[in-house]
Amino acid sequence: MKKFLLALLLFSCLALAYSPHPKEVGASKVFIELNWTIDFGDKLPPEFTFTSFAYPTNAWQNARFESAGEHSFVQETDSFGNVLAKFSFQPKKKVEVVSLRALVDVNYAASSTQQTATNYSEQTSLTAVSPEIISKAQQLSAGKSDLEKAVALAEWVHNHVRYDGPGYGATVQSAASTFASAVGTCDEYSHLFSSMARASGLSTKFVAGFVCSTECEKSGNWGAHAWNEVLIDGKWVPFDTTFNEGVLLDATHVKFAEGRDQNDIKEKLSAIAFDFSIKDVQVTRSTVVSLDDWQPFQKFFSVSVSVPSKTFGKEAIVPVEVILSSNTNQELALPININVPKEARVTPLADALVLLQPSTTASRNWNVLLPESLDAGFIYNFTVQAISLGTPAQASITATAQGESQKSFSIKISDVLPTIAEGSLSLKIVLENSGNEPADAAISITTNIGNASQTVSVPAASKKEAFFSFPSSPNTTLVEGSIFVKTSSLEITQPISISLERPAQPTAFLPDVSSISSPLPLAAAAIVIILFLALYLLKQH
């Protein structure tokens, strides 16, 4: 223990010459100190217990932890295999503090061991599927291997949900609500991914921990976060849909607990007392985190960017290809985001998560729309940068006012989203135009419950939504048909299959608080009162 304390002091005092972005961190040594301030109010119970999560040691992290204050803990394990720190003591003051500090080595390049799934295949109240979720999950996962399914679902959730809200746990929305609103924070991303993955036959964990958002040497840039693990070929594989990472996460992800959803990850207060209302006990948590050491990702892959070697002109559409090459015998899922100067625009408006097989190459394509105003007599260089897990690559687009610029459009079906109400089906068809001129697109839908059509104009380098409604028959449980999109130069056909049946919903999580809603009778013997506190603190991610 003395050696551990010395190590904590040593590493927590280290100063980094460079502040890394989290996606650059391939291996890390993270120091975390948690302090819980417990305010008992006017009455002290004769015996009090506070139970929280410690840090597991698994394939990706090695954790050493200890009490950092006057109150010691007993280590236990819950039904999910989480490591618990149970602090039991006799309160002497109105306000007591319990503390836990840990030093955790993290590296997601390791492969997890063979395991079996328990508790993680069934939906919960927060991950319950809707017909819309089932339909979209089936659309994305059809004909794919389990890893291909997980990567496709993760990429879709990342691009579908807009990050907005007060942060992890401050509000917790169900998967169906997040699917419909397309807004949420990390726990909403993770619940929606869990729901869609389980609907696709994949056992999926909800994982809670800490992560860095930027400039990782600053404690204030770390906060509570949620992500997932999926059982694939007998091994747990991590996915973070908020940050568009999968298989190989950056090493600022420090795990402290797992469960089926957020409701399984709760701290617990208990007391043995007469006539004591534990619901009046106030608990607040503060956290100190430092990145004491880190290493960049090993050279598992390389990134390159390819653009045509010619001079473009005003409003030109420039095709960009990002090429990933594997240098390992492991499967990788690599995130790609594209950056261009603010005067230019990128289509499609989405990040990519690319599955890369061992010792192979894979690519994704974007278009860059150059600005409509270029001054005569100047040569412009527009830098296109692609970044994957901290590895950058770039290429320059050369342009002049007299350069080549042809007008064209490029239409594709970006998304198909159903909404199923009582007695009707609505479809939102999202068309995306990655060209530099607008296009009129005739959309027609034929199904076993009816047909519909309309024409929409899709602006250059933009998306356009079209809505269709169909009355459904009481005897119809499956809608099948096709979507047809026709422009002056192309035709697109996409089949659709949508189940109208609403699945049975799991029972909502409702903690039993009947024993704490009123004073306990004085005649009672020593009675244990328990209150569960969801980990809705430090809401940053």
Bigger pLDDT: 537 vs 92: 92
Q: Are 391 and 301 in contact (CB under 8 A)?
A: yes
- Number of domains making up the chain: 2
Give CA 98 to chain center in angstroms.
31
444 and 517, same domain (yes or no): no
In a domain, 78, yes or no: yes
What pLDDT sits at residue 533?
A: 59
% pLDDT > 90, the chain? 76
Residue 312, phi then psi, degrees to nearest 5: -100, 165
Q: Are 207 and 229 in contact (CB under 8 A)?
A: yes
User: In this structure, which amino acid lies at residue 424?
Assistant: S
Q: How many CB atoms lie within 10 A of CB 379?
A: 11
In a domain, 41, yes or no: yes
pTM of this prediction exceeds 0.95: no
The model's pLDDT over 359-369, given as tens digits with 9 standing for 90+, comes to 999 999 999 99
In a domain, 271, yes or no: yes
51 and 79, same domain (yes or no): yes
In a domain, 444, yes or no: yes
Least confident of 12-26, 93-107, 182-196: 12-26
Using alpha carbons, select from 32, 71, 70 the residue that is nearest to residue 50. Answer: 71
516 and 452, same domain (yes or no): no
According to DSSP, residue 39 is labeled E
469 and 519, same domain (yes or no): no
Give CA–CA dist 265/538, Å, rounded.
15
Summarize the confidence of residues 447-460 as an average pLDDT. 95
451 and 425, same domain (yes or no): yes
Give CA 113 to chain center in angstroms.
23
- Report the C-alpha dihedral over residues 467, 469, 475, 477, rounded to 10 degrees: 10
- CATH code of the domain covering residue 45: 2.60.40.2250
514 and 487, same domain (yes or no): no
The model's pLDDT over 351-405, given as tens digits with 9 standing for 90+, comes to 999 999 999 999 999 999 999 999 999 999 999 999 999 999 999 999 999 999 9
In a domain, 450, yes or no: yes
Domain range enclosing 439: 411-499
In a domain, 65, yes or no: yes
In a domain, 274, yes or no: yes
The model's pLDDT over 108-127, given as tens digits with 9 standing for 90+, comes to 998 777 777 778 999 999 99
In a domain, 539, yes or no: no
491 and 529, same domain (yes or no): no
Q: How many CB atoms lie within 10 A of CB 60?
A: 23
Give CA–CA dist 133/139, Å, rounded.
10
Q: Is the pLDDT of residue 527 over 60?
A: no
Least confident of 171-175, 228-232, 395-399, 493-497: 171-175
- CATH code of the domain covering residue 495: 2.60.40.10
36 and 71, same domain (yes or no): yes
